[in-house]
Structure 1
Amino acid sequence: MLKKIDNSKKSGNQHISILYPGLELTDHDTGYYTIGRIDQAHIHGGALIKMHPHVNDDILSYFRSGKVKHTDSEGFIEYITPTKLMLMKAGKLFYHEEAVLEEQEGLQIFIRPGEKDSKPEVIFQELEEVHSINEWRLIASPEKEKTSLTLSSQTWIYDMQITPGKTFKLPQDVNEDYHCLLYVFQGSITVNGNIGLGKGESLFIKDENISFETSDRAELVLFVTNTKSPYYDGGMYSGNQK
């Protein structure tokens, strides 16, 4: 199965576009297995998102430009940048605040946790480079031996920036039990020679071998979910909104 989600299916406002991926496939679940919600945000410096709660969400802050100050209910303060990603595992209840110090664009990714009411935890990961050029980079997974950003459900998140003149495929370790959502953060790509995806658009991939390329340059984020694994779908933002 290959199924495209275009930008007309999103909600939000001039600053944030919100994707509930499940709505493209069904009318009873806003998420797609463990993938609850994806926000693409572009916020000017000086904005303040005041202290607010999260419950039972695994939230990856994946910013490609700008600088954001994170403050949470545990008194912890840290800065999120294009080379420092943050995974906030809200668990039972967690509060945080975000101050946008420099104009920011990136993704706020809401993944469904493996179980309800786990202990809250915040993890930061310093990347060696902003972009992984023409090679898939695993940035978050359920496997501690592979990623510092450890998700609590069977979900894997990769990124890559691709350049013209080459053809690309999915990572080799994506197997038949896994379903994928390929998201274009910047630029545009062509999949299998006839499916065009632009900025903010995405593609469901199930039981398909795909290839893709770009005519300019594109930044991609790949979400992989194990459809046979358990997850909790009652989170404040990642959960089913129906």
Structure 2
Amino acid sequence: MKFQVYKSDARGGADHGWLNTKHSYSFANYYDPNRIHFGALRVVNDDIISGGMGFGKHPHDNMEIITIPTKGGISHQDSMGTGSIIEAGDIQVMSAGTGVYHSEMNAYEKQEGHFFQIWIIPNKRNVEPRYQQLSIKDVAKTNELYQVLSPNPDDQGVWIHQDAWISLGRYTESTKETYHLKGKNNGIFLMVVEGEIEFEGNKLQRRDVVEIENIEEISFLTSKNTNIMLIEIPMNI
């Protein structure tokens, strides 16, 4: 097993007044040649947007873009004709494929919007753009991991054009968790969203991350009142 811990304050980012953002990988004005991507995982942005503000219409192509709000709601409009509000408790995916324009605005004037945006490099280029949004409240579990994204349209959660899986965990009790990887030669990006976990003798706290390679399964111990996000991602791209 090979792993590397990254503390929350090691992330890049910027405070633009209306947008306070943290980047796990090089993005916008943050560039670190050692932090470009982790396998097919290209972006993990942790964004806070002021009420009524957001990102105007802009283009994407050949990227799987996943949005997971944790507070408030994000208003989405795109060139496919999709218009929706993605609320905390939802997950959204947009396969940009041959190209799409979209905008992302805080849906509420008097409340901050908090969300993760994740970009995953696809295994198919120039696909027809697509949009999918689901509530994950019905599949959410307590004190165990639950899947919210996979490569399979018939599986639980949303799907993308890549052999990647995202699972979330919400722990009210101290719990020993074990995760078995689904893909050979895949790696794990594990973030403590809130609370604390212990992994291989390392204590990880809010927004700390561990990247793990060369394993078939991992185990870690959560503290009470801990939320995590686990991304299984292909390393050979």
TM-score with structure 2 setting the length: 0.85
Deviation at 1:166, TM superposition (A): 2.2
The residue that corresponds to 2:39 in the other structure is: 33
Deviations 1:163-207 (CA, angstroms, capped at 9, x unpaired): 33321122x354552211111112221113x20112221111223
Aligned 1:141-160 pairs, distance under 5 A: 141-160=150-169
CA RMSD between the two structures: 2.2
Q: Structure 1 counterpart of 2:4, which letter?
A: K
1:64 counterpart SS class: strand
The residue that corresponds to 2:10 in the other structure is: 9
Distance 1:51 1:81 in 2: 20
Of the structure 1 ranges 26-35 and 55-64, higher mean CA displacement relative to structure 2 is found in 26-35
- Which of 24, 27, 48 is the matching residue for 1:19? 24
TM-score with structure 1 setting the length: 0.83
Residue pair 1:64, 1:130 contacting (<8 A) in 2 also: no
Distance 1:161 1:182 in 2: 14
Q: Which runs of 5+ in 2 are unaligned?
A: 27-31
What is the aligned length? 223
Q: Which has the higher contact order (CA 8 A, sep 6+)?
A: 1
Alignment of 1:203 with 2:218, yes or no, is no
Q: Which runs of 5+ in 1 are unaligned?
A: 232-242
**Percent of aligned positions that are identical:** 22
- Which of 187, 197, 217 is the matching residue for 1:179? 187
Of the structure 1 ranges 53-62 and 128-137, higher mean CA displacement relative to structure 2 is found in 128-137
Deviations 1:194-225 (CA, angstroms, capped at 9, x unpaired): 20112221111223454322333211111112
Q: Cα–Cα, structure 1 residues 49 and 19, in superposed 2: closer, same or farther, change >3 Å?
A: same
The residue that corresponds to 1:56 in the other structure is: 62
